[in-house]
C-alpha cells in the first residue's frame, strides 16, 4: 500500500512487481491449461479468477470490493452481451427465412475458388464499413461465406481469417462503429480526424492483405466444384426453400439499411429478426411454433444434404451459451485486474521509461493487446489506454488522433485473435472455427499493428500538432496516475 493510503482513505494499490506476478500467473494458467493439458477454457478462467481474487486480497481489498469489481467488469460490457443474444436469433431467423439459403444458392454461380479468399475479405470489409459492426458481419455474411467455401473446398480456417480481417476493417474505420467512436471520444479527438489518421496505416495494410489472399487463393484454382455438384446443391436448397431474392434478402436489407441510418446495432438486429421471422412463417410456410422455438435453439435443416442440413440448423440463443459464459468469466477477470489497479501498475512502469515516438506507439499498441488479454473486452482497454497515454502524447507534441489510432490498433484489432475475449469467443462460436485455427490467417488483425509500429519508427504519419514541452515525456502521467 502506498505511504499515507490508509490515512487519506485511498484504495490500496499493487506494486509493479506484484502486478507483474499477477499477470504472469494468469498467462501461465492459460498457456499451460490450453496448450499443454487441453483443459476447457472455462475451467481455466475459473482458476484465473481465483488467482486474481487472492492477489487483490493480498493488497488489502475485501471480498465485497472484489465482487463489486467483477460485477463492474461485466456491467461495462452489457451492450456486447445483448448483441450476443441477438446475433444467435439473427442467424436462426435468417436460416428459416431462406436468407442464408438464397445467398448460398446465388453465390455458387459467382464463385471462383481462386478469388474466394480475397473476395470474402473485400465483401466483409464493405459490409462492416456500411453497418459499423464486425459481429453483425461475421454473424451474417461470415456464416454464408463459410457455407459456400466449405462446399468449394477452401480450408475453413483461411475463410474465417479472411472474414474476421474484413469484419475488423469496418469495425475499425466505420463512422457508425462503436469502437471507432469510443476511441475518438476517449482520446479527445474529432471522429473524422481519427478515421483519417487510421487511413495512413490501414490502407497499406489492406493492400498487403489483399495481395496475400490472392496468392493463397491461387492455390485453390482447381477446387471449383463440377457443374453437376453445384446443380445438386442448388436443387437441395430449392427443395427446402422458396428462393425469390426479392423476398428472402429483405432481412439482410433491413439490417443494412437500419445500420446505415445509424440506428443502434440492437435495434437493427431486432428489426431484421422480426422481418425474417415473418418471411419464414408467411412466405416459407414454416410453422409459427417452429420458427419461434428456433430463436431459442435451432434444429438441423431438411434439404437432403448432410452438410447443408448442419449449416442451416445453426443459430438460436442457446448456440451462444458457450460464448456467453466464457465472456462473463473473462469480463469478471478483467474487472478485478482493472479495479484493483494491476493493469495500471504494470503500464505506468513502462510509460515513465519511454522517450522515442516509435517506442511510445509500440507501447500503446502492446498495452491494448495486453489489456485485451487481461480484461477480455476491447471497450475497457480503449478507455483505459487513452487515459494512461494521453499525457505522453501531449508532451511529445503529437496529435490526439495518433493516440486514438494507436489505441484502436492495439485494442480493436487484436481482440478477435485472442480466444477468451468476447470477440474471439463470438467469432469462433459463430463461424465454427477455433480462434487459434483462424488467427494465423486473420492477416489484417496482426499486420496492421506491425505496419503502424514500423511507420512510427520511420517517422511516417505521426501527425505532429504542437511543439513538445521540455518536460520528461511521462512526467504528467507519473504525477496524475501514481
DSSP string, 154-178: --HHHHHHHHHHHHHHHHHH-TT-H
User: Cα–Cα distance between 263 and 181 in angstroms, integer?
Assistant: 14
* Residue 169 belongs to a domain: yes
DSSP state of 464: B
User: Cα–Cα distance between 445 and 409 in angstroms, integer?
Assistant: 8
Domain hosting residue 160, numbered range: 78-320
Tens digits of pLDDT across the chain (482 residues) = 443 444 445 788 899 999 999 989 988 888 888 778 888 888 988 999 999 999 999 999 999 999 999 999 888 778 777 877 887 898 899 889 998 888 878 877 766 778 889 989 998 888 788 666 788 788 878 888 888 888 778 899 999 999 999 999 988 888 767 788 778 887 888 887 898 899 999 999 999 999 999 999 888 877 666 677 678 878 888 989 999 999 999 998 998 788 778 787 788 889 999 999 999 999 999 999 999 999 999 988 888 777 678 778 878 899 878 778 877 888 888 889 889 999 888 878 888 888 889 999 999 999 899 888 877 778 778 877 887 788 788 888 889 999 999 999 999 999 999 998 889 988 998 899 999 999 999 999 999 999 999 999 998 877 765 443 444 444 444 343 33
Task: Decide if 304 contacts 236 (C-beta within 8 A).
Answer: yes
Instruction: State how far Cα 7 lies from the chain centre.
Output: 43
Backbone angles phi, psi at 299, to 5 degrees: -125, 160
Report pLDDT for 211. 97
* Residue 33 belongs to a domain: no
Written as nine digits, the cell of 113 is 475458388
* Residue 213 belongs to a domain: yes
Place of cell 486474481: 52
User: Cα–Cα distance between 82 and 373 in angstroms, integer?
Assistant: 22
Among candidate residues 142, 200, 183, the one with its CA nearest the CA of residue 460: 200
Place of cell 483462424: 438
Written as nine digits, the cell of 192 is 473524422
3 state SS for 282-326: HCCCCCHHHHHHHCCCCCCCCCCCHHHHHHHCCCCHHHHHHHHHH
Hey, how many other C-beta atoms are within 10 angstroms of the C-beta on 344? Answer: 20
* Residue 461 belongs to a domain: no
* Residue 360 belongs to a domain: no
Task: Decide if 137 contacts 416 (C-beta within 8 A).
Answer: no
User: Cα–Cα distance between 209 and 65 in angstroms, integer?
Assistant: 45
b/e per residue 270-280 (b: at least 16 CB within 10 A):
bbbbebbbebb
* Residue 413 belongs to a domain: no
pTM of the model: 0.71
Hey, how many other C-beta atoms are within 10 angstroms of the C-beta on 15? Answer: 14
* Residue 142 belongs to a domain: yes
Q: How many domains does the chain have?
A: 1
Report pLDDT for 374. 79
User: Cα–Cα distance between 336 and 465 in angstroms, integer?
Assistant: 36
- DSSP for 229-245, please give it: HHHHHHHHHHHH----H
User: Cα–Cα distance between 429 and 434 in angstroms, integer?
Assistant: 8
Report pLDDT for 63. 94
Report pLDDT for 128. 83
Task: Decide if 322 contacts 419 (C-beta within 8 A).
Answer: no
Report pLDDT for 224. 64
- State whether residue 59 is helix, strand or coil: coil
* Residue 36 belongs to a domain: no
DSSP state of 10: P
Amino acid at each position: 500500500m502506498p505511504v499515507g493510503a490508509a490515512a487519506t482513505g485511498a484504495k490500496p494499490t499493487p506494486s509493479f512487481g506484484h502486478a507483474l506476478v499477477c499477470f504472469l500467473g494468469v498467462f501461465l494458467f492459460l498457456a499451460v491449461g490450453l496448450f499443454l493439458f487441453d483443459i476447457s477454457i472455462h475451467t481455466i478462467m475459473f482458476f484465473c479468477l481465483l488467482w486474481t481474487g487472492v492477489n487483490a486480497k493480498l493488497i488489502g481489498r475485501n471480498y465485497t470490493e472484489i465482487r463489486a469489481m467483477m460485477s463492474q467488469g461485466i456491467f461495462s460490457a452489457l451492450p456486447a452481451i445483448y448483441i450476443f443474444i441477438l446475433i444467435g436469433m439473427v442467424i436462426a431467423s435468417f436460416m428459416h427465412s431462406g436468407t442464408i439459403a438464397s445467398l448460398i444458392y446465388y453465390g455458387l454461380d459467382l464463385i471462383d475458388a481462386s478469388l474466394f479468399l480475397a473476395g470474402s475479405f473485400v465483401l466483409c470489409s464493405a459490409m462492416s464499413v456500411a453497418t459499423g459492426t464486425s459481429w453483425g458481419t461475421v454473424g451474417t455474411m461470415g456464416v454464408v461465406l463459410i457455407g459456400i467455401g466449405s462446399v468449394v473446398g477452401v480450408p475453413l480456417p483461411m475463410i474465417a481469417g479472411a472474414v474476421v480481417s474484413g469484419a475488423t476493417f469496418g469495425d475499425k474505420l466505420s463512422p457508425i462503429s462503436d469502437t471507432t467512436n469510443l476511441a475518438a471520444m476517449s482520446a479527445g479527438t474529432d471522429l473524422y480526424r481519427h478515421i483519417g489518421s487510421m487511413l495512413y496505416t490501414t490502407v497499406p495494410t489492406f493492400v498487403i492483405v489483399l495481395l496475400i489472399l490472392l496468392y493463397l487463393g491461387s492455390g485453390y484454382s482447381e477446387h471449383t466444384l463440377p457443374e453437376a455438384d453445384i446443380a445438386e446443391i442448388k436443387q437441395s436448397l430449392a427443395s427446402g426453400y422458396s428462393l425469390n431474392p426479392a423476398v428472402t434478402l429483405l432481412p439482410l436489407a433491413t439490417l443494412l439499411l437500419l445500420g446505415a441510418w445509424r440506428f443502434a446495432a440492437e435495434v437493427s438486429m431486432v428489426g431484421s429478426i422480426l422481418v425474417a421471422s415473418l418471411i419464414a412463417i408467411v412466405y416459407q410456410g414454416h410453422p409459427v411454433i417452429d420458427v419461434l422455438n428456433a430463436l431459442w435453439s435451432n434444429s438441423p435443416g431438411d434439404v437432403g444434404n448432410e452438410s447443408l442440413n448442419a449449416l442451416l440448423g445453426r443459430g438460436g440463443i442457446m448456440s451462444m451459451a458457450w460464448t456467453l459464459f466464457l465472456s462473463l468469466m473473462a469480463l469478471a477477470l478483467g474487472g478485478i485486474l482493472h479495479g484493483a489497479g494491476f493493469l495500471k501498475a504494470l503500464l505506468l512502469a513502462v510509460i515513465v521509461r519511454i522517450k522515442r515516438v516509435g517506442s511510445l506507439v509500440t507501447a500503446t499498441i502492446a498495452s491494448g493487446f495486453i489489456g485485451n488479454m487481461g480484461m477480455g473486452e476491447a471497450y475497457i482497454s480503449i478507455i483505459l489506454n487513452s487515459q494512461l497515454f494521453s499525457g505522453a502524447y501531449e508532451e511529445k507534441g503529437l496529435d490526439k488522433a495518433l493516440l486514438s489510432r494507436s489505441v484502436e490498433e492495439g485494442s480493436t484489432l487484436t481482440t478477435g485473435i485472442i480466444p477468451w475475449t468476447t470477440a474471439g469467443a463470438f467469432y469462433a462460436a459463430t463461424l465454427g472455427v477455433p480462434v487459434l485455427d483462424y488467427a494465423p490467417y486473420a492477416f489484417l488483425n496482426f499486420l496492421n499493428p506491425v505496419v503502424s509500429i514500423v511507420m512510427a519508427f520511420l517517422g511516417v504519419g505521426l501527425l505532429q500538432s504542437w511543439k513538445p514541452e521540455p518536460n520528461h515525456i511521462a512526467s504528467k502521467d507519473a504525477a496524475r496516475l501514481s
